[in-house]
């Protein structure tokens, strides 16, 4: 060949003399390019030869990268757990809201874990830039398919920001009644009175009415008694007021109310409305109902539809 021939012509003539079998996709300087070429499965024979050449020439480097990627995943997952727990402890020491602390802990764990996965893929040799673009495109399609989950995530953010309830509150939310255990990214855990845990999607909670029984420190008990017209109204009211005054758990400010709510055809409706601290409400209501029942029998008061006892029985009861 003429020595004066240009360099591109020399390279072209050399490449034309090479056999197709000797051409492999592995380049000496780029492991990333070699791995990318291994994704071409159009010619199985060529792919197998390229794989063998990759193992021979860059096997040790590939093994080290794989080992490093696995190490990154293991250590990164451990770091994500430790970081999320540390964030929760710092929030507790700073007397931050428990609901916000747990939500931030879950969110930080997910974010750190995503970064760890990207770092492991980059260490193997996968181009994370293009991978991120593919994930973003796929994320759009997945997002359309998982609109409910995204709605639950957005609802969880709204629950954290506007705080209609917090951990430990007694609520009626999403059709379930109980105590708030935890507000997670997509769901809220509610523990019922019979110690069952109900997992309610956050979207179901924000889409419906929320009743927070623990929002105020005091609440009113509403009891309606359907009493017969045969009862002496003044004695009946005196008995009920004395019953409320005898219970130390009943608040005197605001004062309890005993009044006629309705005069029906069958009898009079008497309402009993004492105020108590929120945590005492179930116990006080149950004790009042029991005391009213016993007191009616002792004083001879009658409910609507109750047959008046004979005179001899009334004298013995008195």
Q: Which tens digits make up the pLDDT trace of 152-161?
A: 888 888 888 8
What's the pLDDT score for residue 213? 93
Domain 165-212 = CATH 3.20.20.70? no
Task: Give the C-alpha separation, 231 to 234, whole Å.
Answer: 9
What's the pLDDT score for residue 18? 42
Task: Give the C-alpha separation, 210 to 201, whole Å.
Answer: 14
The overall pTM is greater than 0.75: no
Mean pLDDT of 74-97: 79
Q: How far from 170 is each of 190, 202, 214, 244, 296, CA to CA, in Å?
A: 9, 16, 5, 25, 33
For the chain, percent of residues with pLDDT exceeding 70: 67
Kindly tell me if the per-residue pLDDT of 258 is higher than 90: yes
Looking at domain 218-317, its CATH class is alpha beta
Q: How far from 47 is each of 18, 27, 28, 59, 162, CA to CA, in Å?
A: 18, 15, 17, 16, 57
Comparing 77-91, 170-184, 267-281, the range with the smallest average pLDDT is: 77-91
Phi, psi at residue 261, to the nearest 5°?
-95, -30
CATH number assigned to the domain covering 69-150: 1.10.287.1260
> Domain-by-domain residue ranges, the chain?
69-150, 165-212, 218-317
Task: Give the C-alpha separation, 301 to 228, whole Å.
Answer: 8
Mean pLDDT of 158-169: 89
Which residues on adjacent β-strands are paired with residue 170? 179
Each residue's pLDDT tens digit, 169-188: 999 999 999 999 988 888 99
Each residue's pLDDT tens digit, 102-144: 777 777 888 888 888 878 877 776 666 666 666 666 666 656 6
Check for a shared fold between 69-150 and 165-212. Answer: no
Q: For residue 37, name the pLDDT band (cuts at 50, 70, 90).
A: low
Mean pLDDT of 198-218: 93
Mean pLDDT computed over every residue of the chain: 78
What's the pLDDT score for residue 243? 94
């Amino acid at each position: 060949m003429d020595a004066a021939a240009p360099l591109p012509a020399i390279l072209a003539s050399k490449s034309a003399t090479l056999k197709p079998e000797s051409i492999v996709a592995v380049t000496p300087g780029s492991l990333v390019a070699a791995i990318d070429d291994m994704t071409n499965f159009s010619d199985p024979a060529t792919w197998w030869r390229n794989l063998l050449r990759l193992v021979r020439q860059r096997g040790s480097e590939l093994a080290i990268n794989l080992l490093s990627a696995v190490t990154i995943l293991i250590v990164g997952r451990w770091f994500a757990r430790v970081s999320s727990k540390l964030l929760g402890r710092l929030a507790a020491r700073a007397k931050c809201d428990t609901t916000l602390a747990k939500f931030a802990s879950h969110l930080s764990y997910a974010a750190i874990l995503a970064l760890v996965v990207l770092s492991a893929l980059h260490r193997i040799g996968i181009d994370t830039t293009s991978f991120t673009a593919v994930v973003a495109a796929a994320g759009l399609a997945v997002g359309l398919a998982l609109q409910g989950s995204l709605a639950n995530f957005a609802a969880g953010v709204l629950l954290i920001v506007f705080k209609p309830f917090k951990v430990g509150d007694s609520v009626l939310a999403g059709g379930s009644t109980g105590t708030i255990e935890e507000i997670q990214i997509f769901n809220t855990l509610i523990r019922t009175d019979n110690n069952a845990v109900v997992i309610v999607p956050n979207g179901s909670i924000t889409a419906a009415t929320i009743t927070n029984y623990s929002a105020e420190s005091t609440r009113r008990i509403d009891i309606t008694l359907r009493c017969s017209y045969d009862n002496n109204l003044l004695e009946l009211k005196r008995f009920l007021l004395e019953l409320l005054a005898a219970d130390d758990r009943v608040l005197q400010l605001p004062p309890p109310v005993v009044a006629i709510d309705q005069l029906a055809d069958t009898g009079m409706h008497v309402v009993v409305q004492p105020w108590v601290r929120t945590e005492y409400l179930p116990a006080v209501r149950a004790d009042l109902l029991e005391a009213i029942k016993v007191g009616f029998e002792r004083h001879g008061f009658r409910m609507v539809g109750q047959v008046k006892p004979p005179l001899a029985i009334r004298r013995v009861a008195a």
